Structure 1
Amino acid sequence: MVRVLLADDEAMIRAGVRAILATDRAIEVVAEAADGHAAVEMVRAHRPDVALLDIRMPVLDGLRAAEEIGAVAPATAVVMLTTFGQDENISRALGSGVSGFLLKASDPRELITAVHAAAGGAAYLSPAIARRVIDDYRDPARSLAARARESVAALTDRERDVLALLAAGHSNAEIGRTLHLVEGTVKAHVSSILTKLDARNRVRAAILAYRAGLGPGL
């Protein structure tokens, strides 16, 4: 069972998200909060697997709450859920180590996918956000795609296989089943990939994979 904290200052939004999550019997909403400070306290008390946070909340916004949750409960994955997709929000969220970023206008199935991906240690960006991240970081002097391909070229064939599945949102366990590897070996490959790509987390590695052409259809 994936235990989820839901934080949004709008009661109707919380009700809608809760209803979507309730369609998956493997997900349980264990706590709700209407502001960022309460969300941090709820995470401290309930230790959920995933915290779904709205960016714009009173007292403490979702981005600052994500940073505090990372400090007090690093095992809790954070997925940002917002109406807004401003570039500065995306950059800051990725920099804080969140595991996912979704627009509230996304297909409800994306929410379910993102929760399971985050709970499994994977990363998930909705296609609209992934495309924006790629487009907004274009370098006219030197293609980021070319640089990403150069970075990925330093990986072994097996590491590239692992990276492609990581970029598609698969957990370590799912990657292991697909490639017929034990989970410990997958973790070692992921660690090596992050080091070679100089990527802070799986989301950053996934972005590089997208740029290098390894992403799932972007």
Structure 2
Amino acid sequence: MGREVIQVVVVDDEPMVCAHLRTILGSAADIEVVGEAYDGAAAVEAVVRHRPDLVLMDLRMPGVDGLTAIERIVKLDHPPRVVALTTFDADEYVLRALRSGAGGFLVKSTPPEDLIGLVRVAADGHTVLSPVATRRILAAASGEDESRKRAKELVGRLTERETDVLTCVGEGLSNAQIAARLFLSEATIKGYVSRMLVKLECTNRTQAGLLAHDAGLIGR
């Protein structure tokens, strides 16, 4: 049985960028661009109308920007996965987008063949981040005292085992990799992650991973 078609909404205030993304993604048999939007308000409307699996969201737009749109979209019933689009991988908006619920980000200059693969990865629920940019983002995040304090308070709600799982998530490990490290079944790890996200008030693994860094769990 083949992969189901991944339905995507692309959002950018430059129609040419949307057309470029539509052309690239449309070349893949398992990806369909079902809608375009040129500002954040229209993006939310497009998500409600099309119910896509994935949204590629430009962050810097006039009117309702991408950050606001992400915050609105993740609060919808059964929200799609949202991946932020940015021109620069060190964009300060990226960290805010991840904290708002984006499941990763892509630089607009990503080569077409890589973009298609990363869209598939994101649609499967995995975090999409550039390793180099991730280090920059986490370095920037480490200076936020209020975030660190809040993160430590939230992590204090976890059991010791849940904290172990969170640390692994912060290191970017998959459920299968965490299961191997902790000598547990993948199904058990999946249960831990679900409970952990609720306790941490996180929308997804990306937010939980950032929280792990803020709380000082990584590199202990």
The question of a shared fold, defined as TM-score above 0.5 by the shorter chain, is answered with: yes
Write out per-residue CA displacement over residues 28-72 of structure 1, whole angstroms, 9 at most, x where no aligned residue. Answer: 111111221111111001110111111122331111111111123
SS of aligned partner of 1:125: coil
Separation in 2, partners of 1:137, 1:164 = 14
Q: What is the match of residue 69 of structure 1? A: 73
Counterpart check, 1:51 vs 2:55: yes
Matched residues, number: 199
Percent same amino acid at aligned positions?
A: 39
Report the 3-state secondary structure (helix = DSSP H, G, I; strand = E; otherwise coil) of the residue aligned with 1:72: coil
Greater alpha carbon shift after TM alignment, 15-24 vs 37-46: 15-24
Alpha carbons 2:162, 2:192 under 8 Å: kept: no
The one-letter code of the counterpart of 2:46 is: M
Alignment of 1:163 with 2:198, yes or no, is: no
**Aligned residue in 1 for 2:209:** 206
Distance 1:121 1:113, change over 3 A: same
Instruction: Say whether the 8 Å CA contact 1:100–1:114 is kept in structure 2.
Output: no
Give the residue type in structure 1 aligned to 2:134.
A
Specify the alignment match of 1:93 in structure 2: 97
Equivalent residue number for residue 190 of structure 1? 193
User: Using the alignment, how far apart are the partners of 2:189 and 2:208 within structure 1?
Assistant: 15
Structure 1 regions of 5+ residues with no counterpart? Answer: 214-218
Retained in 2: the 8 A contact 1:110–1:126? no
State whether residues 80 and 102 of structure 1, in contact with CA within 8 Å, keep that contact through their aligned partners in structure 2: yes
With over 3 angstroms needed to count, the CA separation of the structure-2 counterparts of 1:43 and 1:156, relative to structure 1, is closer
CA distance in 2, matches of 1:24, 1:75: 23
Q: Any conservation in 2 of the 1:47–1:73 contact (CA below 8 Å)? A: no
Greater mean deviation of Cα atoms: 53-62 or 1-10: 53-62
CA deviations on 1:152-192 (whole Å, 9 max, x unpaired) are xx447994897388x25x5x6xx49x969565x44203125
Counterpart among 16, 22, 39 of residue 35 in structure 1 = 39
8 Å contact from structure 1 (residues 4, 49) kept in 2: yes
In 1: Cα distance, 2:37 partner to 2:12 partner: 6
CA distance in 1, matches of 2:36, 2:20: 13
Identify which of 6, 22, 25 aligns with 2:26: 22
Structure 2 unpaired stretches of 5+: none
Judge conservation of contact 1:101–1:129 (CA < 8 Å) in 2: no
TM-score normalised over the length of structure 2: 0.70
RMSD: 3.8
2-side partners of 1:78 and 1:65: how far apart? 10
Distance across 2 between alignment mates of 1:48 and 1:110: 21
- Secondary structure class of the residue paired with 1:121: coil
